[in-house]
Amino acid sequence: MDPTLPEELVLLQRTVRRFVEERLEPLSRSIEESDAIPRGAIDAMAGAGLFGIGVPEEQGGAGFGKLGYCVAVEQLARTNASLWNVIGGSSGLCGTAIAIGASDELRSRYLPDLLGARRLGAYALSEPGAGSDAGSLRTAAKRDGDDYVVDGAKTFITNAPIADLFIVFATVDAARGAKGITAFVVDRDTPGLTVGKNDEKMGLHGSTTAQLFFTACRVPSRQRIGAEGTGFTLALRTLDLARVGLAAHAVGAAQKLLEASVVHAKSRTQFGRPIATNQAIQWLLADAEIGIHGARLMVYDAASRADRGERITQRAAITKLYATELLGRVADAAVQIHGGIGYMREHWIERAYRDARIYRIYEGTSEIQRLVIASGLLADA
């Protein structure tokens, strides 16, 4: 446990860790094999307050702030990553967009259900033709009386097959580029909205991802978040906060992989001695420890700054990039240290290795994080 955290967050850390070990980890293998998360697991996470950890108490959350959210997420990473992915898509992305951008009316209509997981949310920004360049999205929202008529498609949307509501980013005027992008909350049962089939993925089995199709989908104007043209700023502000949560998950996942690697290195004997006595193995362990320590401090720093109301675009990009690339290296080292057994489906390390790959792609690829970091540097110069 970390001495730099205030006492209530150390307590939160212990409580979430126990919950993860006792209630979630026993489900991990069956989630992987069935590619489905039982509803009971989502309800259990909601019952433990995990969908509302970082949200202020006045908005119905637990009030632990972004730092508390990251502390909890780090512990949630000690089990199958798909479980947290449900929370990340619902509260982390959809809930955050509503919490920071929506009117009181929309907040009170949606946030309590999202934070209690009575309804699940998703965040629909990416499109078949607009991934890294999300500002060029083409889904159109044309004003028609008191409604907007939405046409277009979204792709790779986490939680889409199970979500009850979607934050949808659409343009009211493609000629205005990113300045035409506007955000809406769209209920799943809105006529004209259909959800595609669950995508088959390399990892994150259990977490669902699908396309959304909008065909003359009428969305009442009261469902708009903020003013017309403010959607892209909302998308980026939401991603700033979500990226720190994702980095926290990468830190927790790397920590668990390192702990397992230490245990294996000490117990596996070759050439008459534990493989841990080889400097080649020790350096893999040492490099993982160094990286995890640095990434954890970055997460705490970025989350604390967010809690103080600072804009954290640069820090979030640095933290997401560092922590997720670190996880890639630690997962690779963990498989190497485990040797053949690390490559076998029977060992959870094999799953963790595949799950680790997505962190460098979603919520902005590593290349896009570097663009954000560099453009901040050059703007200040």
Ligand X SMILES: Cc1cc2nc3c(=O)[nH]c(=O)nc-3n(C[C@H](O)[C@H](O)[C@H](O)COP(=O)(O)OP(=O)(O)OC[C@H]3O[C@@H](n4cnc5c(N)ncnc54)[C@H](O)[C@@H]3O)c2cc1C
Binding stretches for ligand X (CB under 6 A) = 89, 122-126, 131-132, 156-158, 201, 204, 209, 358, 361-365, 367-368, 371
Beta-carbon contacts of residue 278 (< 8 Å; ≥ 6 apart): none
What minimum distance in Å lies between the beta carbon of 374 and ligand X? 10
Tokens 């199958």 correspond to what residue? 80
Beta-carbon contacts of residue 286 (< 8 Å; ≥ 6 apart): none
What minimum distance in Å lies between the beta carbon of 166 and ligand X? 10
Closer by beta carbon to ligand X, 2 or else 367: 367
Tokens 């004997």 correspond to what residue? 269
Residue 40 has which token pair? 């009971």
Amino acid identity, position 27: L
Closer by beta carbon to ligand X, 353 or else 362: 362
Closer by beta carbon to ligand X, 336 or else 365: 365
Closer by beta carbon to ligand X, 123 or else 353: 123
**How many of the other CB atoms lie within 10 Å of CB of 305?**
17
Q: How far is CA 45 from the centre of its chain?
A: 16
SS3 assignment, position 224:
strand
What minimum distance in Å lies between the beta carbon of 128 and ligand X? 8
What minimum distance in Å lies between the beta carbon of 161 and ligand X? 12
Ranked by CB distance to ligand X, the top (closest) residue is 131
Tokens 């060029």 correspond to what residue? 136
Phi, psi of 229 (to 5 degrees): 90, -5
What minimum distance in Å lies between the beta carbon of 145 and ligand X? 29
Beta-carbon contacts of residue 271 (< 8 Å; ≥ 6 apart): none
Closer by beta carbon to ligand X, 132 or else 215: 132
- Would residue 105 show up in a list of annotated catalytic residues for this protein? no
What H or E segment, with its residue span, contains residue 141?
A: strand 140-144
Among 32, 74, 228, 363, the active-site one is 363
Distance separating alpha carbons of residues 152 and 197, to the nearest angstrom:
17
Distance separating alpha carbons of residues 78 and 75, to the nearest angstrom:
6
List residues with catalytic annotation: 363
